[in-house]
């Protein structure tokens, strides 16, 4: 099988994969997966992503602190991230961003400060960022406009208008399982209008499995269904979508995918 599937966003350190992680990761290349970028979301997650990247040639790592985990950071977290980020298979700072969905998250000012500090680190190291934006479109855009980092807004949930602005800043749009959901009206519009040169495919595994696996544990091979749906919406083949997304991801993360 041709390996066209580039999963630009997954969490293979997640405990959902504990029972069969190695078996699953060994099987993904033969299911068409060429590359996975496994995200760090806290210290343990970063270490987990680095470990996987060191053991699997097709897995790369991103290191960063997710907004969910910013409340009790050690004061030297940026130098720890920097040390990790200099390892050869680290291709991005992520996942970082803003999450205003739950009331008990860290205060917005704290989230914004940690987000911006990590953007500045990424810019200094010339790495792209992987952005998490949940119910925080206004502040996310304000920060991206001001700093103009390279990167991707993952699991993009904004409007077509916001998508156009993200693209005009030179950033990419990450689309995953949500486009296959029955009630996905805005995501479908975005999938239709996004320039093919700005699209990345992703899972957010173990979350957000596409239809017909919705609600089950997600893995990178399921991106085939995401590409199928995006192709259907745009009048293109799944392979065309996968190929374009792979090319875009190679450009953004500055790597060459395995064939
Ligand atoms: Zn994620």
| Residue-by-residue DSSP string for the chain | ----EEEEEE-TTSGGGTTTHHHHHHHTGGGTEEEEEEEP-SHHHHHHHHHHHHH-TTEEEEE---GGG-TT--TTHHHHHHHHHTSTTEEEEEEEEEE-SSTTSPPHHHHHHHHHHHHHHHHHTT--EEEEEES-HHHHHHHHHHH--SEEETT--S-HHHHHHHHHTT-EEEE-GGGGSTT-HHHHHHHHHS-GGGEEE---BTS-PPTTSTTS---GGGHHHHHHHHHHHHT--HHHHHHHHHHHHHHHHT-----
Looking at residue 241, its pLDDT comes to 98
Quote the ligand 1 centre to 124 CA distance (angstroms).
23
- Whole-number Å distance between alpha carbons of 73 and 92: 20
Looking at residue 107, its pLDDT comes to 94
- Whole-number Å distance between alpha carbons of 222 and 205: 10
Quote the ligand 1 centre to 6 CA distance (angstroms).
15
Quote the ligand 1 centre to 129 CA distance (angstroms).
12
Quote the ligand 1 centre to 223 CA distance (angstroms).
15
Which bin fits 133, alpha (ψ -120 to 50), beta or left (φ > 0)?
beta
* Confidence tier at 181 by pLDDT (50, 70, 90): very high
* Confidence tier at 67 by pLDDT (50, 70, 90): very high
Quote the ligand 1 centre to 166 CA distance (angstroms).
19
- As a whole number, mean pLDDT of residues 37-55 equals 97
Quote the ligand 1 centre to 195 CA distance (angstroms).
23
pLDDT in tens, 188-237: 999 999 999 999 999 999 999 999 999 999 999 999 999 999 999 999 99
pTM for this one? 0.97
* Confidence tier at 103 by pLDDT (50, 70, 90): confident
Quote the ligand 1 centre to 9 CA distance (angstroms).
6
* Confidence tier at 71 by pLDDT (50, 70, 90): confident
Looking at residue 160, its pLDDT comes to 98
Quote the ligand 1 centre to 39 CA distance (angstroms).
7
Q: What is the dihedral of CA 145, 146, 148, 153, to 10 degrees?
A: -50
Quote the ligand 1 centre to 10 CA distance (angstroms).
6
Quote the ligand 1 centre to 76 CA distance (angstroms).
24
- Whole-number Å distance between alpha carbons of 255 and 31: 21
Quote the ligand 1 centre to 113 CA distance (angstroms).
20
Looking at residue 79, its pLDDT comes to 97
- As a whole number, mean pLDDT of residues 39-66 equals 97
Alpha carbons within 13 angstroms on the beta-carbon side of residue 179 total 33
Looking at residue 72, its pLDDT comes to 85
Quote the ligand 1 centre to 225 CA distance (angstroms).
19
Q: Does the pLDDT of residue 49 top 90, yes or no?
A: yes
pLDDT in tens, 129-148: 999 999 999 999 999 999 99
Quote the ligand 1 centre to 11 CA distance (angstroms).
6
Quote the ligand 1 centre to 34 CA distance (angstroms).
19
Token pair listed for 54: 């060191």
- As a whole number, mean pLDDT of residues 86-97 equals 97
Contact in structure between 15 and 42 (CB atoms under 8 Å): no
pLDDT in tens, 14-36: 999 999 999 999 999 999 999 99
Looking at residue 164, its pLDDT comes to 98
Q: Does the pLDDT of residue 110 top 90, yes or no?
A: yes
Token pair listed for 136: 């925080």
Find out whether the peptide bond into 32 is cis, omega within 30 degrees of 0: no
């Amino acid at each position: 099988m041709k390996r066209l599937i580039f999963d630009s966003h997954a969490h293979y350190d997640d405990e959902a994969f504990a029972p069969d992680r190695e078996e699953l990761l060994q099987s993904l290349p033969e299911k068409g997966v060429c590359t996975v970028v496994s995200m760090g979301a806290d210290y343990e997650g970063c270490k987990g992503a680095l470990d996987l990247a060191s053991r699997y040639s097709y897995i790369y790592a991103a290191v960063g602190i997710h907004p969910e985990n910013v409340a009790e950071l050690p004061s030297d977290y940026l130098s720890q991230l920097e040390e990790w980020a200099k390892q050869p298979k680290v291709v991005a700072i992520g996942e970082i961003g803003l999450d205003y969905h739950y009331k008990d998250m860290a205060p917005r000012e704290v989230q914004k400060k940690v987000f911006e500090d990590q953007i500045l680190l990424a810019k200094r190291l010339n790495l792209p960022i992987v952005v998490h934006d949940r119910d925080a479109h206004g502040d996310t855009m304000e920060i991206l406009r001001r700093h103009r980092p390279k990167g991707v807004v993952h699991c993009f949930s904004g409007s077509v208008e916001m998508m156009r602005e993200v693209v005009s800043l030179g950033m990419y749009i990450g689309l995953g399982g949500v486009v296959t959901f029955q009630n996905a009206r805005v995501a479908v519009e975005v999938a239709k209008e996004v320039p093919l040169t700005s699209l990345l495919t992703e899972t957010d595994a173990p979350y957000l499995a596409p239809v017909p696996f919705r609600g089950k544990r997600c893995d990178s091979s399921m991106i085939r269904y995401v590409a199928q749906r995006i192709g259907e919406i745009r009048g293109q083949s799944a392979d065309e979508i996968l190929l374009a997304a792979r090319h875009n991801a190679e450009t953004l993360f500055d790597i060459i995918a395995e064939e």
